[in-house]
Chains A and B, each alone.
Chain A
Amino acid sequence: MHTVHVPPDFNAWRELARTALHDGFRPDEITFCDSTEPRSLSLLPEAASPGGPPHVKPHVSTAFLEAANFAATHRDPQRWNLLYRLLWRLQENRNLLRIEVDDDVAALLRLRSQVARDLHKMHAFVRFRKLEIDGDEHFIAWYEPAHRIVRLAAPFFAERFSVMHWTILTPDESVSWDPHTKQLTFGPGADRTQAPEQDELETLWKCYYASIFNPARINPSAMRSEMPMRYWQNLPEVEILPQLMRGAEQRVATMVRRQQSKPTAAPYVPELHTLTVLREALPSCKGCELYEHATQVVPGVGAAHAKLMLVGEQPGDKEDLEGAPFVGPAGSLLRGVMEELGIAPESVYMTNAVKHFKFVQRGKLRLHQNPRLQEINACRPWLAAELDAVKPQVILCLGASAAKSLLGSTFALMKDRGSVQESAFGKQIIATLHPSAVLRARDDASREQMRGLLKRDLQFASELASGKHR
């Protein structure tokens, strides 16, 4: 057996392989030993003479060169023999490399793809740390690739960081880039202590890493398969991984608890949506805190299958005491307008977006307070059930709270007042002023104007409900 020692470098092997082919050594007559591997203790190297035909002008395809160049950086000590065997067989069969199921070809492709993956991971996982040297920025990284790929990897960093002065240190080899001369310089291997220990930006980077993942979708096996643990010691962000993993479950539980604890009337609303059933169930509602202070709940009134439904904001002082909607000052203004238009109160259904009175006590006075968005949302299941029971053609929202309940919290009342809107709650929803806004107008002129708008919208809604605007 003829033995040849090969330095770990593709070009060195290439020269030796060329000679061996020229001499006619069959693959089973020659052994290529990687010079970085411990040598065998055989004291008497056997001399052997070649038994095959000499290949003076060997055929070498670019596909083979490309794959072999990658495979040569692999740490598998048998790679040189594999490459020579393939090279020998290629002389007989020029299509050999296309037959991926051939054992030698498969082995070559496996080496190549392992190197390609290692190369890809190096491009991804090198982490530069910045140093100031004589007022100049110098970026230095420590990295341990699985294979001897520094020379394959360097051009990527040279292009990407062409304006930076950078160095990558690995156990086998180091490489530096000078942005002025645009030159790569390769040097000997190094150890971890020669690289900076940290970078000022790492805190910020860890903070980003901690914030960008979704604790509700934790999937550590997917993470590990793409980021094998052998690379972890080089990645600053991985230091906080244990605490992130531990905290994830807790964070999700807290979120769910908070969402569950949001006030909602949903559990109190019966499944059967008829007005009688709803009216009986309403007094038991503890969907939000408003029930604690109000005298009583105020259900809607009117025709069970009215074509027009009026939705106000919430009961006022008088409504709270009487238990009926629209019986206070604002209600009587509304009823006045309806009378002028010839709309009988019994022909429509009137209710409120929020069913309990909200107020602050000032001495003997109970001052009305606007319901918060959260309370409107909490009470919405009642309104939705009423809508389902009555099935009106048209819904007229009186005031912003009612409009927000049915059209979304950003609905701009004065911008889209009086026009037909659509939402999940109804195909024809119109919003107008609340009668109490008319009462609160700053002077007579604007009061008249506002009353006019309310009347016009009410008339339009009523006509639309009775089919006049088709």
Chain B
Amino acid sequence: MQQLTVQQKLEILADAAKYDASCASSGAKRANNGKGVGHTDGTGICHSYTPDGRCVSLLKILLTNFCTYDCVFCVNRVSSDIQRARFTPEEVVNLTLDFYKRNYIEGLFLSSGIIQSPDYTMEQLIQVAKLLRTVHHFGGYIHLKTIPGADERLVAQAGKWADRLSANIELPTQQDLVQLAPEKKSTIIEGTMGQILAHSDEAKEASIRSHLPRHMLPKFAPAGQSTQMVVGATATTDREIIQRAGALYGNYKLRRIYYTGFSPYPEADARLPLKAAPLMREHRLYQADWLMRYYGFAPDEITSEANPELSLEEDPKTSWAKAHPEFFPVDVNVAPRESLLRVPGIGYRNVERILNIRRYHRLSIEDLRKLNVRVKHVAAWITAADHLPTSPLVSASPLPSPTAQLDLFAAASALSGAL
């Protein structure tokens, strides 16, 4: 076979990696070591954006797209009739350093098709990270994809060199896996996640007890672990996906779950849909994910048994609010943080700002407008210094049982002549 150039390999192996959604480079802080290029300051930087709207923050490639597995949803499956290529570890190291020195990237995201065995594949990935860290003193970001089922010793090594590790859950349910990824079992994938968590916890405990200076402490994947699932390749509902996500966050302390809406790819299996899952579905799942991680929603609350799919027309927080009129209105000047977080149209940042400001100043609708709150959107759900909600939605809620208060209102309406 004719030898491929590095450029040809890059075309093939970046193309094959583009279905992996995760590209964030945040969460790790790594000072420059004075011996090589690179540092990370914790927030991550998007160095460019591609026409699909995704950010380019890392050199995201596969070490090889040869794969012995036959996962139906994956472009690299063994039965796929695509061009194959394989980088040497040195080629990946040089590409990473050369791109980094031009300020094109924050670091490397390295994944791979499974060749020979999970252990062998994992060793190859580790080799790249180790070369970067030990030979070139690279201080930039490294994200390694762990191969499910690889030996625990290898997981431990990977975490030593990488900022973040991830094991892809691939599909939301075990049934989906049986259908589309016959070689993958959720127990094995979750086993790897459990190992990553255990090593990370051990490293944290060791650093609490240790008297070593901070930079000498043993680190294990300081930016934590993440995972990815493909949505829309099977009929699994949003409710099942969100509950699965909730369980994964709870069990393995994942930093993030990435949702990739299924999209068609060359040589796809005929059993798969021909159209991409709507971009909006992915977006709604991310919104639901944020509700769980930052807004205090339980997975159960976001959808219902009767309506297991997220609405494509309205965001999940608004849907929840409409289903819970008894919760509103929320008074922006006195309500606790947890209640403010549930108001549709008020984001996490603005809740913090509202809590800060109201210690010195009672907030009016005009004040909210100054905070860039979409007043038209929130007016129905809140009480402010100069505002009572008037939305038909809230007043249409079932009337409370008769009380003394209701009489008060009755008297008031008699005065104004209203019914």
Contact = CB atoms under 8 A, between A and B. Distances in A.
A156 B38 CA distance: 11
A213 B78 contact: no
Given A161-B101, A213-B54, A260 B37 contact: no
Nearest to A257: B274
B302 interface: no
A160 interface: yes
A212 B60 contact: yes
B50 interface: yes
A19 B361 CA distance: 32
The winner among A141, A214, A222 for most chain B CB atoms within 10 A is A214
A95 interface: yes
A32 interface: no
A124 interface: yes
Contact of B52 (A162, A214, A237, A262): A214
B48 A227 contact: yes
Contacts of A424: 178-179
B419 to A, nearest CB: 38
Main secondary structure of the interface of A (DSSP, over half): helix
A120 B51 contact: no
A205 B370 CA distance: 42
B166 to A, nearest CB: 18
Interface stretch (B4-12, B245-253, B293-301): B4-12
A214 B69 CA distance: 23
B357 A98 contact: yes
A423 B264 contact: no
Interface stretch (B39-47, B117-125, B126-134, B153-161): B39-47
Given A124-B45, A127-B104, A245 B51 contact: yes
A212 B14 contact: yes
Contacts of B60: 212
B101 A139 contact: yes
B284 to A, nearest CB: 15
Interface in A113-130: 120, 123-130
B343 to A, nearest CB: 17
Contacts of B367: 101
Interface string B1-43: 0000011001110110111000000000001101111110100
A252 interface: yes
Nearest to A156: B41
The winner among B55, B79, B103, B279 for most chain A CB atoms within 10 A is B103
A98 B360 contact: yes
Given A211-B10, A212-B18, A409-B79, A160 B37 contact: yes
B19 A214 contact: yes
A111 to B, nearest CB: 15
B315 interface: no
B363 interface: yes
A131 to B, nearest CB: 12
B270 A217 contact: no
A181 B398 CA distance: 74
How many A residues are at the interface, by size bracket?
A: 35 or more
B70 interface: yes
A408 B357 CA distance: 61
A101 B102 contact: no
B267 A220 contact: no
Contacts of A210: 11
Nearest to A254: B266
Contacts of B264: 216, 252, 255-256, 259
B14 A208 contact: yes
A260 B269 CA distance: 10
Nearest to B48: A237
B371 interface: yes
A201 B183 CA distance: 39
Given A217-B263, A219-B279, A252-B264, A226 B37 contact: no
Q: 4 tightest CB-CB pairs across the interface, nearest first?
A: A222-B53, A213-B50, A219-B53, A211-B14
Interface of A: 95, 98-101, 106, 120, 123-130, 139, 141, 156, 159-164, 199, 201, 203-205, 207-223, 226-227, 235, 237, 241, 244-245, 248, 252, 255-256, 258-260, 262, 264, 266, 373, 377, 407-410, 422-424
25 contacts: A100-B353, A106-B370, A123-B45, A139-B101, A159-B31, A160-B32, A160-B38, A160-B103, A163-B36, A210-B11, A212-B50, A212-B56, A213-B51, A213-B54, A218-B51, A218-B52, A219-B279, A223-B52, A245-B51, A255-B266, A256-B275, A259-B274, A377-B270, A423-B182, A424-B179
Given A127-B104, A163-B37, A207-B11, 18 more contacts: A101-B367, A124-B45, A127-B102, A139-B101, A159-B31, A160-B39, A162-B34, A163-B35, A201-B99, A204-B7, A222-B49, A223-B49, A223-B51, A223-B53, A227-B48, A245-B51, A256-B275, A410-B182
